[in-house]
Amino acid sequence: MSAKIKYTDEPLGKTQVIPDFLPSPAALAFREEGVKVTLSLSKKSIEFFKSEATKNHTQYQRMIRRLLDAYVDAQALNKSN
């Protein structure tokens, strides 16, 4: 990749402007409001989530929360059909 690129002033041809489809930085930083709860789970469940969280470099509580959110979303879709 040591070859130098030489740019020329050539026509681009037909171009088209597309609307901005990316979310705003504020939308990317949005976090849903959380509610703290006390919940007893089985030891095997916690060991599983802790192991998977370590493999995926995340927090096990976040994985459990996302699993529950996915379940709720799926149930909401089923009820709307």
Summarised one tens digit per residue, pLDDT across range 22-40 is 877 777 777 788 899 999 9
pTM exceeds 0.85 for this model: no
Instruction: Report if residue 57 sits inside a domain.
Output: yes
Residues of the chain under the 50 pLDDT cut? none
Note the pLDDT of residue 1: 62
Instruction: Report if residue 12 sits inside a domain.
Output: no
Classify each residue of 31-48 as buried b or exposed e, where b means 16 or more C-beta atoms within 10 Å of its C-beta: eeeeeeeeeeeeeeeeee
Note the pLDDT of residue 50: 96
Residue type, 8: T
CA angle 34, 26, 19 (to 5 degrees): 135
Instruction: Report if residue 73 sits inside a domain.
Output: yes
Instruction: Report if residue 5 sits inside a domain.
Output: no
Length of the chain: 81
Instruction: Report if residue 62 sits inside a domain.
Output: yes
How many structural domains compose the chain?
Answer: 1
Please tell me what DSSP assigns to residue 56. Answer: T
Instruction: Report if residue 25 sits inside a domain.
Output: no
Instruction: Report if residue 19 sits inside a domain.
Output: no
The parent domain of residue 63 ranges over 40-80
Note the pLDDT of residue 22: 80
Instruction: Report if residue 54 sits inside a domain.
Output: yes
